[in-house]
């Protein structure tokens, strides 16, 4: 008998298949294959083919340079932005409908100068720099009072929506709160109103006691396969210590997140044959002060099932891999990796 499980935060139900559960080898394979051919605007030497950089990390000897090789990480405006950076919101009605100008920022973090590298294989320090870049950009974009939320995400592989293969992630600053964010905030607030405790802190405590859905753990983080996972091998990385906003963390937190993220992605590469994936940072709205009810975290979703079908339209998910099994596979995956040991 399959199981219906309720997401404790948003209240949505998912179906977890228990018979015929799909193991890592059962999934349709659309592995990410490096093509590497052709012109890449993100490679060193092609800086003039992108909009001018907003931020770059360079060795100290190189600090004066801009838009020229020598960088180890580079942040640029998206050449084809989903939103425009100039102008006012100009909220208005269109009959019974509501609209505003699509004002926002859309930036690309070029994670490394090396075209064929990935977050799973680059040095931990380089992954950590990607996280520092997220933080630096969030702190800067926060100053713009038009924005309410910054969405940080990565599409890895064509099947996950990446149009360029050079390793990169994205930031979108929005003048509104996306629906999923609103749902999580409202769910967490409701729980806090009732219990005076953070729901994520309670989940972490229960998961760390039972251990069945713990995929990995280090000093600052625990990675779990959430109880009501919508997707096979969906994995959340949560800071053990309560913190509502990603950008407020201490520096060892970024270091330990880099270690855990890299190690989990490397395990996915081995276990799931280099799948496409998305990750999304879930953090508090930028204009809010630190709060007691919301707890930032990173959600990783490998793209294993060929399509999401009608799930978008219904909010009705069927997950063929129980999270307990996914966590066990991830926990027990032995990878040789001196860096994250």
Residue of 10, 78, 291, 339 interacting with its own copies (CB under 8 A):
10
3-class secondary-structure state, position 219: coil
From 80, 196, 289, 336, residue interacting with its own copies (rule: CB under 8 A): 80
Within positions 226 to 285, which residues make up the interface with its own copies, using CB under 8 A? 227-228, 230, 278, 280
Q: Are 231 and 238 in contact (CB under 8 A)?
A: no
CB of 57 or CB of 316, closer to its own copies: 316
Cα torsion angle, 18, 22, 28, 29, sign: positive
SS3 3: strand
* 73, 174, 269, 333: residue in contact with its own copies (rule CB under 8 A): 174
124-141 vs 251-272: helix crossing angle, rounded to 10:
120
Termini Cα distance of the chain = 39
The whole-angstrom separation of Cα 215 and Cα 261 is 12
Residue 6 sits in the site that holds its own copies (CB under 8 A): yes
Half-sphere exposure (Cβ direction) of 17: Cα atoms closer than 13 Å: 13
Give 124 or 261: the residue with its C-beta nearer to its own copies.
261
Question: C-beta of 60: minimal distance to its own copies in Å?
Answer: 35
Site membership for its own copies, residue 84 (CB under 8 A)? yes
Q: Is 168 a catalytic residue?
A: yes
Minimum distance, C-beta of residue 295 to its own copies, in the bound complex (Å): 14
Indicate whether 32 belongs to the interface with its own copies (CB under 8 A): no
- The stretches of 178-238 forming alpha helices (DSSP H) are 179-195, 199-210
Q: Give dist(CA 41, CA 44) in Å, integer.
A: 8
Cβ contacts of residue 126 below 8 Å, gap of 6+? 72, 73, 111, 112, 117
Catalytic residue among 168, 242, 295, 297: 168
Query: If binding is defined by CB under 8 A, does position 38 make contact with its own copies?
Result: no
Binding mask 183-222 for its own copies (x = CB under 8 A): x------------------xx--x---x------------
The answer to whether residue 286 forms part of the interface with its own copies (CB under 8 A) is no
Residues annotated as part of the active site:
168
């Amino acid at each position: 008998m399959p199981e219906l499980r309720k997401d404790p935060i948003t209240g949505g139900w998912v179906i977890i298949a228990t018979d015929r559960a799909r193991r890592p080898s059962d999934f349709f394979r659309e592995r990410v294959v490096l093509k590497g051919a052709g012109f890449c605007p993100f490679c060193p030497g092609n800086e003039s083919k992108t909009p001018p950089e907003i931020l770059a990390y360079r060795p100290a000897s190189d600090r004066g340079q801009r838009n020229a090789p020598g960088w180890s990480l580079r942040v640029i405006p998206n050449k084809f932005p989903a939103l425009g950076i100039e102008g006012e919101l100009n909220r208005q009605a269109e009959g019974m409908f509501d609209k505003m100008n699509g004002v926002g920022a859309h930036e690309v973090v070029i994670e490394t100068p090396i075209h064929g590298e990935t977050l799973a294989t680059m040095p931990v320090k380089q992954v950590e720099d990607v996280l520092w870049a997220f933080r630096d950009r969030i702190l800067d974009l926060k100053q713009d009072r038009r924005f309410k939320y910054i969405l940080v995400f990565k599409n890895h592989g064509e099947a996950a929506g990446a149009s360029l293969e050079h390793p990169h992630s994205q930031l979108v600053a929005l003048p509104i709160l996306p629906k999923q964010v609103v749902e999580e905030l409202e769910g967490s607030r409701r729980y806090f109103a009732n219990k005076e405790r953070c729901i994520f802190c309670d989940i972490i405590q229960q998961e760390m006691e039972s251990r069945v859905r713990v995929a990995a753990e280090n000093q600052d983080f625990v990675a779990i396969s959430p109880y009501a996972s919508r997707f096979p091998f969906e994995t959340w990385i949560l800071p053990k210590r309560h913190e509502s906003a990603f950008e407020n963390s201490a520096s060892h937190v970024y270091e330990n997140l880099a270690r855990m993220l890299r190690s989990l992605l490397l395990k996915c590469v081995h276990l799931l044959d280099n799948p496409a994936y998305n990750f999304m940072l879930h953090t508090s709205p930028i204009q809010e002060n630190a709060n007691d009810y919301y707890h930032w975290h990173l959600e990783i979703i490998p793209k294993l099932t060929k399509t999401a079908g009608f799930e978008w339209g219904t909010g009705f998910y069927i997950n063929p891999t129980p999270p307990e099994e996914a966590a066990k596979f991830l926990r027990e995956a032995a990878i040789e990796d001196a860096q994250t040991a």
